[in-house]
Structure formats: structure tokens, C-alpha cells
Amino acid sequence: MLLGLSALTMQRNGVWQDELTLWSDAGRIAPGDYRVWSGVGEAHHRKGSLDSAAVAYQRALNLLPDNEVLWNNIGVLHEDRG
């Protein structure tokens, strides 16, 4: 049993590699959760992947269109794009 749990732990360590891999895995598990896509967008934004951030933010907005934080994040993204 201990070996099995150790193997599962090692497998999950890759998911916890960084913020983007963690949020991306969460998106695979819960694709209908706006918080997941907001997290994916923020992770891409911090890495400078602005186009990928915009796609993730838009996906989050499609799930919860009245969220002020998402609209603010998109505004910051547009400012960063110039």
C-alpha cells in the first residue's frame, strides 16, 4: 500500500510543478468552473503569454459574464498589450 501511495504522490508532483500546470490540470478536471479559467488566465498573464491569457479569461467570462474581477483582469491585459 505504501508503494502505491508513493507512486501516486510522484505522479501528482508533476502537476504541482508550477502555477500553470496546476491550473491546467484543474481545467481538465473541472472545465465548467470559471475560477479555474481565471486561474489559467492569471498564470499565463504572469508568464507573459498574453494571447493565451486572453483566451482563458474569455472562457471564464463565458461561464460568469458579470464577474468584475475578470473584467478588471481583461482591462489590465489590454493595458499590458498597449
**Domains located in the chain, CATH noted:** 2-81 (1.25.40.10)
The more confidently predicted of residues 7 and 57 is 57
32: three-class secondary structure by DSSP: coil
pLDDT single digits (tens) 45-80: 999 999 999 999 999 999 999 999 999 999 999 999
CB 73 within 8 A of CB 46: no
User: Residue 17 carries which DSSP code?
Assistant: G
72: three-class secondary structure by DSSP: helix
> Quick one: pLDDT at residue 68?
97
CB 28 within 8 A of CB 37: no
The more confidently predicted of residues 10 and 42 is 42
CB 44 within 8 A of CB 73: no
Give the mean pLDDT of 11-21: 76
